[in-house]
Structure 1
C-alpha cells in the first residue's frame, strides 16, 4: 500500500511554476488565437470595404513668398522712409491668407457654397461609377436610371434660395433634350423643363429662387442633388480645412494646402486664394504709397516758398557785400551744418507721418525723437563754432545754410514723390505667387494599403481585448493543482488537448456510424500517452477497491468522459487483459458508434431480462480482449431501470468474468444515474475539462458522489492546453441545470 500511495502521488500534477505576467498574457493570446485572427480578418474586410466606398479626396497646394525688402515704399524713399518699412511676420501673412477678406470672395468666385453632384447608389455606387463606368448613352446598370453609373456631371453657377432652405437637398432630374426639372426639399416641382445655360427664376412657399445650370450630362431620369449652404458656414469650413504653414524657419515661403472630392474645384479654390492674396498685398502697398504722396504734396508748396525766400536773401546779401567765395573753414562748417539740417528736416517729416498712424508714445515715434535730440545737439555744437568766425562770414554762412537746406529738402521730396508715383503705377508688392495649384487627378485618400494595415492592427488589438475579456469571464478551473488543494482528490492524469482528436470529434458528432478512435489512429499522440499514465495509476488505485468496476462520470456534459472511457479501455486491453466496456449513459450514450454497432440489444435489455448475455456482448470489436455492451434501447425511466436488482446481479457476474469493467455514465449533476451506478463500482473517476467546470460545480459533483457512497478515487483533467500554465480563478457560485436529451 505504501508503494501504491507513492506511485499515485507521483502521478499527480505538480503545481505549475509561476510564470511572469507577460507569460500569462501570451498564453491567453495563444489560446484565443482564432478569436484574435477572426477580429483581424473582420477588420481587414471592413477596411477593404471602406477603401472601396470612401469618397476620394484630391489635394493640391500653392506657394507664396513674402519678401523682406522688395519694391516697396521704403526702397522708393530711401532713408526718408526707413521708419515706414515694417517687416511683416509670416504668422501675420498666414492669418491674412485664412481671413474672410480672402476666403469670402473665393467662395463667391468658385461657387463653393453650391454643392451639386450626381446621386449614386448607396455604398458601392460611387465605386462602380468611377471604376466600372457605364456610358451615358448605354442602359443604366441594374435598370436603375435615376442613379449615376458613369460620367454624369453637373455645374451650377448660381443658386439663390430662401434662408429656410439653406443646407437642404434639392433634386434635379434630367429630361429629354438636355432639359431638367427641379424639385424642392419638400418634394414639390418648382421648375419644369428648364434649359441648361439660362437663369431660371421661380417661386416656392418659402420665397423666390434663382438657379443657373451651366453644364449638365446625364441620361434622362438621372438625379442630381443640389445643396445651397450659408456663405459664412462655408467660409468657416474652408478656414478649418486649409493647411497653411511656413516652409522652414524664417524662410518667408508659405504653403497653402487644401483637399476636396473634386480635383478641379481644389485647383480653382487655391488659385483664387493665391490671386486674391497677391492682389490685396498690392492694393495695400498702393494705398500706402498714395497716402505718402498726399502727405508730401501737402508739404512741397511750403518748402518751395521757403526755398525761394532763402535763395533771394542769400543772393541779395552776396551782391550787396560783393562776396564771391567763403574761406575754407567757413565752407567746411557750412557743409556740416547743411547735412545736419537736412537730416533734422527728414526726421521731422518722419515723425509727422508716424503721428498720423501712431500715438506720441509709440516706440517708433520715440526712436525718431531720440534721433532728433542727437541732431539738435550736433546743430548746437555747430552754432557754437559759427560764433568763432568773423561776423560777416557768419551772416553769409547762415543765409547759405538756409538756401542749401531748403534746396536739398525740396529736391529730395520732389524726387520721392515721382518715385512713389512710379511705384503706385507699377502695382508691385512684397509677396509673389511662386507655384500655382495643379489639377491633381490622383486621389490622396483613401489609401487602401494604409487603411488595411491600420484596420488589421486595430483588429488585432480588439481581438486581444476580446481574448482577455473571455479569459476573465471564464470561471472554470484551469489549474489541476487547485483540484487537489480544494477537494483533496489526486489528479490521476492531465490529458493535453489533441488537435487530432478535435478533427475526430467533428466526425464523432456527425451522422456517421463509425467514428475513428484516437488510441488506434494516433497511438503516439500526447493525449494517448496521458491516458496510458491513467491506466498505470488505476492498477494501484484498485489495491483497496471493493471490485474491479471503474466508473467514469463528469459534473456536466461536454467534459470528454466518453473519450477517456473508450480510449482507456482500448489501452488496457492492449496489455493482454480482458476488458469489458459498458455504455452506461442511458440518456444519450453513443459509444456504439466507435465500434461500428447500433445501440439495440444492450444494457437496457440485459437488465430487463437478466438472461443470456451472449447476444448482448460484442466480442473483440476494437482490439483483442475488449468486449463492449451498448446502451440498448434508451429507456424512458433510466434511473428506475438502474435500481432494478438485475443490474447489480449482472454487474457482479460480469466483474467476475473480466479483469476490469469500465462504465461510461451520464454527468452526475445532470441526472442521478451516476450516483446509482457509483455505489456498485470499485473505483469512480471524475472527469473535468480545462476551464469548463467552475469550482462550485465540481464541489457539488464531489459532494453528490460521496453522499451516495461512490468510491471517488480521483480526477482526470482533460483537454489541458499545451500553451497554458493553468491559472486559478477563485470561487464562483452558480446554480447548474442541464438539458440532457437523448442522442440517436
Structure 2
C-alpha cells in the first residue's frame, strides 16, 4: 500500500513537471516573433523621427527664405468703408418681377378668354354675332328673398327699355308678334318672355303670351293657371281657341295660352298651317303677341315658331350661353324668313363693361307712398309683377 501511494505521488509530480515544461517551451518559442516585432517597431520609430527632422529643416529653410525676400507689393491707398452703395439693384429687381408677373397674368387672361366658349361681354354680341342689344336685364335674386325697391326698379326700367326697343324695331305695318328664344337651356328666355309680356300689359297693350315650349314649358305653373288645354290641343284640333286662352291674375291686359299636354309627337304640330293661322288671328285680336319658345338647340321648334311670328329676339345669359352654339344656330336662322330684332342680355351684374346699362336708382319714379312699395296706380305692388324671378 505504501508503495502504491508512493508511485501515485511520483505520477502526480510527473504531470506537474510536464505542464511546467510545456508552458516554458511555449514562452521560448514566442521569443523570436516578439523580437522581430520589436525590431520592426524600432525601425519605424527611427524612420518617423528622420522624416520629422527633415520636415523641420525644410520649414526652417522656408521661413528663412521668406524673411530674407524683399516684397515687390506696397499699399497705395488704405481701404475705407464705403458711405453708400454704388448701385442699388433692389428697385430694378422688384419692378422687373412685378412687370413679369403682370405680363404673365395678362397673357394668361387673354389665353383663358380666347378659350372660354361662354358669352361674357357685350362686344361678343354686337361684333361677333352682329346683333343689336335690345336691352340688359340685371341679375335678379334667385334665393327667394324679398327684392329691394332699388332692385325692383332696375328690373322694371330694364323691361321698359326692352319694350320700347322691340316695339320700334318691329314693322309698324304688321301685327306685333315676336318669338323669344335662346341658343341653349337655362338662358332665362321664359323669364324674359313673361316679364316682357307683363311690361306691355302695364303699358296698356292687350297682350297675349303663348307658351310655345311644348317640351318643358312652365308658364302655366308660373301664372297659376291650368296647363291643359293649351297650344297642343288647339293645333291637333281637340280644343277651340276660346278654351285655350286664360286671363291671368298678374294683369287684366295679359292673357296666357299654355303649352298643353306634353306628347312625344307634339313638335310635329308646329309644322302645320294651324300655327300660322293662330298667330295671324291672335295678331289681329291683340296688340302684342309674345311666344316663349324652346331653345334653338332643342330642335326645330324655335325655328317654326319664329317663322310663324316673323320676328325673333335672342336671349343670352352672361357666363352661361355658348357663343359658338349661338353663332351656329343664328347661321340657320339667317336662311329663314325671320327678322332678328336683336339680343336680350340676361343675368347681368351692372359692373365693368355693363355699368353704363344701369339706371340711377335715386331717380326712380314713385307714387307718394311708403318707401319700399312701388305702385302702378291700381293699388297693386309692382314688385310682385315679375313672376318666376330666375335669371
Q: With the length of structure 2 as denominator, give the TM-score of the two structures.
A: 0.60
1:546 is aligned, of 153, 156, 174, to 174
- Deviations 1:154-177 (Å, cap 9, x if unpaired)? xxxxxxxxxxxxxxxxxxxxxxxx
CA distance in 1, matches of 2:148, 2:341: 24
**Paired residue for 2:236?**
608
CA distance in 1, matches of 2:216, 2:124: 31
**Paired residue for 1:493?**
135
CA drift at 1:721: 3.3
1:579 is aligned, of 207, 225, 228, to 207
- Aligned to 2:289, the other structure's residue is in SS state strand
Whether 1:531 and 2:153 are equivalent positions in the alignment is: no
Contact 2:181 2:189 in 1 (8 A): yes
2:294 is aligned, of 653, 666, 683, to 666
CA distance in 2, matches of 1:696, 1:611: 40
| Alpha-carbon distance change, 709 to 476 in structure 1, aligned in 2, over 3 angstroms | same
CA drift at 1:609: 2.5
- Aligned to 2:178, the other structure's residue is in SS state strand
- Aligned to 1:485, the other structure's residue is in SS state helix
- Aligned to 1:725, the other structure's residue is in SS state helix
Q: With the length of structure 1 as denominator, give the TM-score of the two structures.
A: 0.33
**Paired residue for 1:476?**
118
List structure 1 segments (4+ residues) > 6 angstroms apart after TM superposition. 368-373, 467-470, 518-521
CA drift at 1:565: 0.7
Q: List aligned pairs for 1:217-232, cutoff 5 A.
A: none
| Alpha-carbon distance change, 697 to 481 in structure 1, aligned in 2, over 3 angstroms | same
CA drift at 1:650: 2.1
**Paired residue for 1:641?**
269
| Alpha-carbon distance change, 520 to 608 in structure 1, aligned in 2, over 3 angstroms | farther
Q: CA RMSD in A?
A: 3.6
Whether 1:562 and 2:176 are equivalent positions in the alignment is: no
- Deviations 1:105-124 (Å, cap 9, x if unpaired)? xxxxxxxxxxxxxxxxxxxx
Contact 1:639 1:676 in 2 (8 A): no
Q: List aligned pairs for 1:52-67, cutoff 5 A.
A: none
CA distance in 2, matches of 1:661, 1:707: 23
- Point out where structure 2 has 5 or more consecutive residues left out of the alignment: 1-48, 70-104, 355-391
- Aligned to 2:308, the other structure's residue is in SS state coil
- Aligned to 2:242, the other structure's residue is in SS state coil
CA distance in 2, matches of 1:520, 1:653: 39
Q: Give 1 or 2: higher strand fraction.
A: 1
CA distance in 1, matches of 2:124, 2:304: 28
CA drift at 1:370: 6.9
Q: List aligned pairs for 1:266-305, cutoff 5 A.
A: none
Contact 1:497 1:720 in 2 (8 A): yes
| Alpha-carbon distance change, 361 to 624 in structure 1, aligned in 2, over 3 angstroms | farther
CA distance in 1, matches of 2:322, 2:58: 85
| Alpha-carbon distance change, 519 to 558 in structure 1, aligned in 2, over 3 angstroms | farther
CA distance in 2, matches of 1:681, 1:573: 19
Contact 2:119 2:323 in 1 (8 A): yes
CA drift at 1:711: 1.6
CA drift at 1:564: 0.8
CA distance in 1, matches of 2:212, 2:187: 16
1:680 is aligned, of 308, 311, 318, to 308
Contact 2:279 2:309 in 1 (8 A): no
- Point out where structure 1 has 5 or more consecutive residues left out of the alignment: 1-351, 374-463, 508-515, 727-744
CA drift at 1:698: 1.9
Name the structure, 1 or 2, with higher relative contact order (CA <8 Å, separation 6+): 2
CA distance in 2, matches of 1:520, 1:587: 35
1:697 is aligned, of 302, 305, 325, to 325
CA drift at 1:602: 1.2
Whether 1:710 and 2:338 are equivalent positions in the alignment is: yes
**Paired residue for 1:503?**
143
**Paired residue for 1:594?**
222
CA distance in 2, matches of 1:519, 1:541: 32
| Alpha-carbon distance change, 483 to 371 in structure 1, aligned in 2, over 3 angstroms | closer
